[in-house]
Amino acid sequence: MSDLRPSVRATYDSEQTGPRYWVTSTIDGQAVAFRVRIADPFVRHTVRVGLRDLLRGLLRGRLTVEVTVGGDTEVMRDVLELDEQALIHGRTRRAAFQQSIHQKLRNMA
């Protein structure tokens, strides 16, 4: 079992907070599902286009189906911080980066 990688430190417990991600689906700008709560952002989402929308799209020559997956601000920031290069406002990594830049500028003066 030497293939085990260490887990990333958890920042919340979904059992306590409930689902913190959501999915919104629109057809030609009209919401067909708005911020439906989901357990994680890695989803396969199906949008069924009704006959009326399909006919309207054929007459216009286009039909736009949009699916947006999001979450509350804090959980999105947590996901972005899985990348070591992410510098999120109000987080310790960004503060440390800014402090190092200020220190380098002081050293140059």
pLDDT tens for each residue of the chain, 109 residues long: 568 888 788 888 889 999 999 999 999 999 999 999 998 888 888 888 999 999 999 999 999 999 999 999 989 898 888 888 888 888 888 899 999 999 999 998 7
Q: How many residues does the chain have?
A: 109
Quick check: pTM over 0.85? no
CA-to-CA distance for 33 and 36, rounded, in angstroms?
6
Spatial separation of the C-alpha atoms in residues 13 and 30, rounded to whole Å? 33
How far is it, in rounded angstroms, from Cα 70 to Cα 92? 23
The position carrying tokens 């070591």 is 84
pLDDT for 40: 87
Task: Provide the pLDDT for residue 1.
Answer: 54
Give me the pLDDT at residue 44, please.
86
Provide CB contacts within 8 A for 31, sequence distance 6+. Answer: 24, 25
Q: Which residues of 57-72 are buried (b: 16+ CB within 10 A; e: fewer)?
A: beeeeeeeeeeeeebe
